[in-house]
Structure 1
Amino acid sequence: MAGQFVTAAGTEPERLDWGQLRWMSHPPLTGAEKLTVIDVTLKPGKGHNFHKHPDQEEVIYVVAGTVEQWIDRERRVLSPGDCAFIPADVVHASFNAGSEDAKVIAILGPCVGENGYVSVEMGAEAPWNTLRTP
């Protein structure tokens, strides 16, 4: 497989109620097998609620803004240049803790499923539904 360049202008953003995703590398786009890379923007006060990736490790690297990051039941506030490592099958969540958009790069491996990414939402289940106060 030959390498390739992927530009932000060449990737269509996926808009969600909590922000947007821009798939920078995953099987449908690049043919990747080991790494899925997602450029994520979190709107102020919003975030990706508690979830897990059963067969994937993840690194979340903060590029801009302030992020309230959860790994299991531990909470930290991360700033640009900070990151979190999440082992496979560990519940986690990322929320924008600032008043401007927050930007993170999510890197997951290995690629799993058709899109290189499998997420199981856990936010409605105990204890995850009681850890944050809206």
Structure 2
Amino acid sequence: MHRDPNSVPTMVFDWGSIKWLVSPDGVPGASSTLGEVIINPDRGHDRHEHPESDEILYIIEGEGRQTVGDGPEYPVRAGDAVWIPKGTLHSTFNTGWRPLRILATYTPGGAETALREVPGFVELAPGDHPTWAMIGRETPRG
């Protein structure tokens, strides 16, 4: 089955956005989830866990900081992969100047539905795109 990113909704948060291209809710018979995550510069998401799903992150573009469990925070960049066992607290923060692009998978799929409960969550209809603006920062003068 083919999924065009413009044919699926976009989840929007204060830190970035996610397009779930394959999920049990969106693709009949799918048992896992695959999506593209965009974390905006100088943003990241709070530590959280997925009680019933393992997660794999593959960094497509950009650089950031990652936590997994009780281990130390470490840098991630394009080409890196991160495995997060189910029930393990984790977070990702963009430390670069450009968007941090990540492919994310859940096995089994379905953990993405909990994201609808995150404060400030907005879902854009297929074909609609988020608009980003920097708020609360002074414009540098040169």
Q: TM-score scaled by structure 1?
A: 0.78
| SS state at 1:28 partner | coil
Please give the per-residue CA displacement for 1:34-73, whole angstroms capped at 9, x wherever unaligned. 2111210001111121000001000011001002111013
User: Does structure 2 retain, via aligned residues, the 8 Å contact 1:25–1:32?
Assistant: no
Alignment partners' CA distance in 2, 1:65 and 1:32: 33
Q: Tell me: CA distance 1:10–1:41, structure 2 relative to 1, closer, same or farther (3 Å).
A: same
Listed one character per residue, the Cα deviations across residues 84-118 of structure 1 (whole Å, up to 9, x for unaligned) are 000010000011111111100110110237xx544
Match for residue 19 of structure 2 among 15, 22, 25? 22
Partner Cα distance (1:118, 1:12) in 2: 15
Question: Paired residue for 2:43, among 43, 46, 49?
Answer: 46
Tell me the C-alpha RMSD between the 2 structures: 2.0
Decide whether the 8 Å contact of 2:17 with 2:38 is kept in 1. yes
Residue 104 of structure 2 is matched in structure 1 by 106
Q: Is the 8 A contact 1:54 1:118 kept in 2?
A: no
| Corresponding letter in the other structure for 2:55 | E
The separation in 2 between residues aligned to 1:31 and 1:111, in whole angstroms, is 12
TM-score by length of 2: 0.74
Alignment gaps of 5+ in structure 2? 119-142
How many angstroms apart in 1 are the aligned matches of 2:114 and 2:31? 14
Query: What is the correspondence of 1:107-126 to structure 2 with a 5 Å cutoff?
Result: 107-112=105-110, 117-118=113-114
Structure with the greater alpha carbon radius of gyration:
2
Tell me the residue number matched to 1:128.
none
SS, match of residue 47 in structure 1: coil
Q: Count how many residue pairs are aligned between Structure 1 and Structure 2.
A: 116
Q: Which protein is richer in strand relative to its size? A: 1
Query: Amino acid of the residue matched to residue 102 of structure 1?
Result: L
| Cα distance between partner residues in 2 of 1:77 and 1:84 | 11
Q: 3-state DSSP class of the match of 1:9? A: helix
For the pair 1:62 / 2:76, whether they are aligned, the reply is no
Amino acid at match of 1:79: R
Distance change (3 Å), C-alpha of 1:32 and 1:102: farther
Percent of pairs identical after alignment? 23
